[in-house]
Structure 1
């Protein structure tokens, strides 16, 4: 029988931050002879044809060779399990999304004047709420969960910090987009919802423009040619630029 959190009180320090606590609790849940797992045979999508423990699954999802199809199918399954069973599966969803959540937290620390522990707790609460709102039919579910979490956090602070939601900006040369801090992800999500750019293009822009991942590193991780990714980004940003000029993105999302 796997150890529960009450069996190892020293492992869950009251001084730890919320996301650290969630990851520690996940590790406790994975101990024992029958840890939480997904049925790789039933789920398919390139997973090993056997029960795959969730800690192993997390490693597989982060590997550059993991396909978009596999990640999407796994996350649809995780969302469904977290909504249906909550408890341990909710903890697992948080732990497997931790790399994405930590990126969000780093971004928010630059724009929100909130204590780190309070900010982490708010991001986790918004993420768990997003798990309940996500549609299983959506493409790129983890990206959509990220955007729903960002929306919720930013909206909760918009009254105190209206500068977080400025009007989109275009550089003086009329060609190069500037992505305002605290607004760019909202802009990208709105553009995806309106069909102006694809979710893949939004991820490309978000990772290489907002998270400052070098384009060549993005290409290695995704297995695409540099020139292909560069052209995709240029086309997507051209469509965003035209949409901004036309006023197509002036409305509020949702």
Structure 2
């Protein structure tokens, strides 16, 4: 899928008349016709101002909407440096066929070209997130399809469980309505990506302090969301109880603490012991107890 996009883009910039942008109309580009492969190298360099990137992508997306095929291929080719890491991140632990997920990433990007807001900053960042969301949906569908049919209660693991990658967590927060896509992009790009907060501020058209405060508010909402999820999970998780096996109680008759002198337990009708004869000889007819039975 991505190989096809790369090959198609290569054809656009091959030969004596490569497809190019007029750099005289885009501040930050050389004032001449700039071939698209050169445009790509300029815009991915760390020294490229965000305003220049946005101006380039505004021109590319506008041409794609107006003219179609050639410029749509150009957009896909120039976006490969951000689309390939997205696809790799989504499928790095997936053991099934990755073609459909990669296709969903590219399709999500192409669909976003038709409606991405060109008046807002960080156009490519928002296109990347659209591709990521589409790929993530495809991944969840693939995981659900691979689950055993008998396990009807099974669900595909959420973004927190699939590799534990921060982008999955951010995407879940966006889907839950906790964060906007812009807030998730701000956290993801400045905390886990290569964009500095100063560059993000420039891209958003804000001061550094305002962007820092925006990120702080977004991170606080994210933390509250994750804490609520953990508490909910703890409340619904069945508690493990230790079961101590007990032997069935035997029905026993009460036993006297002083057993009978004869060593025989109480059975049947109790026979009272014969009264012992008195040893006194003062009474007439007294009989002494024999000492032997012989």
TM-score in terms of structure 2 length: 0.58
Alignment of 1:139-154 (within 5 A): 139-154=121-136
Alignment of 1:4-83 (within 5 A): 18-44=1-27, 46-83=28-65
Give distance in 2, aligned partners of 1:182 and 1:194.
13
- CA RMSD in angstroms comes to 3.6
Give distance in 2, aligned partners of 1:200 and 1:220.
8
**What per-residue deviation string (whole Å, max 9, x for no partner) do you get for residues 194-233 of structure 1?**
87x48544421341xxxxx6xxxx5599599xxx89x949
Cα pair distance change 1:220/1:24, threshold 3 Å: farther
- SS, match of residue 103 in structure 1: helix
Counterpart position of 2:80: 98
Cα pair distance change 1:137/1:221, threshold 3 Å: closer
Q: Does structure 2 conserve the Cα–Cα contact (< 8 Å) formed by 1:201 and 1:232?
A: no
Give distance in 2, aligned partners of 1:32 and 1:180.
43
Q: Give how far 1:130 is off.
A: 1.8
Q: How many aligned residue pairs are there? A: 206
Q: Does structure 2 conserve the Cα–Cα contact (< 8 Å) formed by 1:26 and 1:95?
A: yes
Q: Give how far 1:96 is off.
A: 0.6
Give distance in 1, aligned partners of 2:6 and 2:25.
27
Structure showing greater radius of gyration is: 2
The answer as to 2:113 corresponding to 1:131 is: yes
- Residue of structure 2 aligned with 1:193, choices 180, 186, 200: 180
Q: Give how far 1:94 is off.
A: 0.9
Alignment of 1:150-165 (within 5 A): 150-161=132-143, 162-165=155-158
Cα pair distance change 1:201/1:108, threshold 3 Å: closer
Structure having the higher helix fraction is 1
Cα pair distance change 1:78/1:55, threshold 3 Å: same
Cα pair distance change 1:181/1:200, threshold 3 Å: closer
The answer as to 2:61 corresponding to 1:87 is: no
Deviates more, 1:71-80 or 1:120-129: 120-129
Specify which structure has the bigger relative contact order, considering alpha-carbon pairs within 8 angstroms and separated by 6 or more residues: 1
The answer as to 2:106 corresponding to 1:119 is: no
Question: Structure 2: where are the runs of 5+ without partners?
Answer: 144-154, 202-207, 230-294
Give distance in 2, aligned partners of 1:139 and 1:246.
32
Give distance in 2, aligned partners of 1:31 and 1:117.
28
Cα pair distance change 1:72/1:191, threshold 3 Å: farther
Q: Does structure 2 conserve the Cα–Cα contact (< 8 Å) formed by 1:111 and 1:181?
A: no
Q: Does structure 2 conserve the Cα–Cα contact (< 8 Å) formed by 1:39 and 1:49?
A: yes
Q: Give how far 1:143 is off.
A: 1.0
